[in-house]
Amino acid sequence: MAVIQTVLALIVTLGILVTVHEFGHFWVARRAGIRVLRFSVGFGKPLLLWKDRYGTEFAVAAIPLGGYVRMLDEREGDVPEEERHLAFNRQTPARRIAVASAGPIANFIFAIFAYWLLSVIGFTTIAPVVGSVEPESPAARMELAEGMEVVAVDGRETPSWRHVGMALLQRAGEQGQVTMSLQDQGREVTRSAMLNGWLSGARDPDPVREFGIEPWRPDIPSVLGQIRPDSPAEDAGLRSGDEIIEAGGKPVADWFELVDIIRASPGSELTLRIRREGEERTLAVTPEETQLEDGETVGRIGAGVQSVSWPEEMQRATRFGPVEAVPEAFGQFWNDTRTTLVAVGKMASGLLSVRNISGPITIARVAETTVSSGFESFMRFLAYLSISLGIINLLPIPILDGGHILFYAWEWIQGKPLPEAVQAIWLRVGLVLIGTLMVLALYNDVLRL
């Protein structure tokens, strides 16, 4: 069941973003006077197929990992004389650039709309208040302390931990000083620390925790939430709502003590004393052995924690009117775009590990998690992924939109297209680059599993 949910989440996520992207190409092509032969979401054999009054086929295909808009083009077959003015290759370079760039632009517009919608509906975030600080970390050198609220990083406002993480991520691999503005017992203070290649070799970094900050959180009792199907927890008879009061003969004070005991017992039977509906009982569970990336083997039972309520003073409710939400949406769009561009640039320069590149498996897992977390989380994920998709497609790599734009721009400036032999070579280079990126992304996905 969990696998099916993950696959469905991937299909929905890619279906939305691919439809938005391809609709951008389609919409501009139609208005440029180009005949569109097919608009397909997915590759392969069509599962659904219909035509509109202009003769364009609309298809939903079997392989939901992309899509395409096929236009009339003399390079792909014979075109009747009376229809040649409708062919893509007969259009001016400016029109072809407009069609090629419309897909990524549509992704950007979708992200802005998603942020605008969230701003109008309203959302609640958790204040970025420091819980504890890791010794000898950048946060410790900055002299952060429990109870301080991070107001800004390098001048960028940080109303939530997500904003803090995004701001810190932009400093990954850098040398120099990072500055934080903080609220400390009602007064604002500024602290700084020097970075020396921080996060340069990290894979899937958690910028906040790797900076040395453990976010403040309420006491979390050792009460089970979701139980994964076919897990050791389910096999042992554990249920959602069970409170674990003793594990392996040791009293359990909170969720984190329970996790520590389970992690330290891979493959070894643990006797649990639980409280269920006011009654105590004893069960036995054997944590499954799980190997981490660093080679350490830990135990897991496949049970999550029951959600807890955050104090009202730690919550930040945000809501804007339809007009006020417009600059807010553009601000969030720009922050995420800047973070993505910085990350791409740092991976290209070696300041950030290419192990951070993700593929469809990671996207599917994150999509399923955000869908389970609610509308706000899923919309933010869609927006950020849409921005990433738009930026990637604008890279000047042949077979991507950016590569086509580069060819058409050359033709516009020089008055003639690049020689076909040169285009063929660059297309092969583009295929190699994209193929390498896909293999690397899948390899990273498998490592994450």
Annotated catalytic residues are 22
Spatial distance between the Cα atoms of 253 and 70, rounded to a whole number of angstroms: 62
Q: How far is residue 50 from each of residues 62, 380, 432, measured CA to CA in Å? A: 15, 32, 35
Spatial distance between the Cα atoms of 199 and 204, rounded to a whole number of angstroms: 10
Spatial distance between the Cα atoms of 63 and 66, rounded to a whole number of angstroms: 8
Contact 320, 120 (CB under 8 A): yes
Spatial distance between the Cα atoms of 214 and 130, rounded to a whole number of angstroms: 6
SS3 398: coil
Spatial distance between the Cα atoms of 344 and 338, rounded to a whole number of angstroms: 10
SS3 243: strand
Spatial distance between the Cα atoms of 391 and 69, rounded to a whole number of angstroms: 19
DSSP 1: -
Spatial distance between the Cα atoms of 254 and 265, rounded to a whole number of angstroms: 18
Q: Where are the beta strands (DSSP E) in 16-141?
A: 36-51, 57-71, 123-126, 130-133
DSSP 223: B
Spatial distance between the Cα atoms of 203 and 377, rounded to a whole number of angstroms: 23
Spatial distance between the Cα atoms of 3 and 97, rounded to a whole number of angstroms: 40
Contact 227, 249 (CB under 8 A): no
Q: Which residues pair with 57 in a beta bridge?
A: 38, 51
Of 36, 32, 217, 15, nearest to 131 by C-alpha is: 217
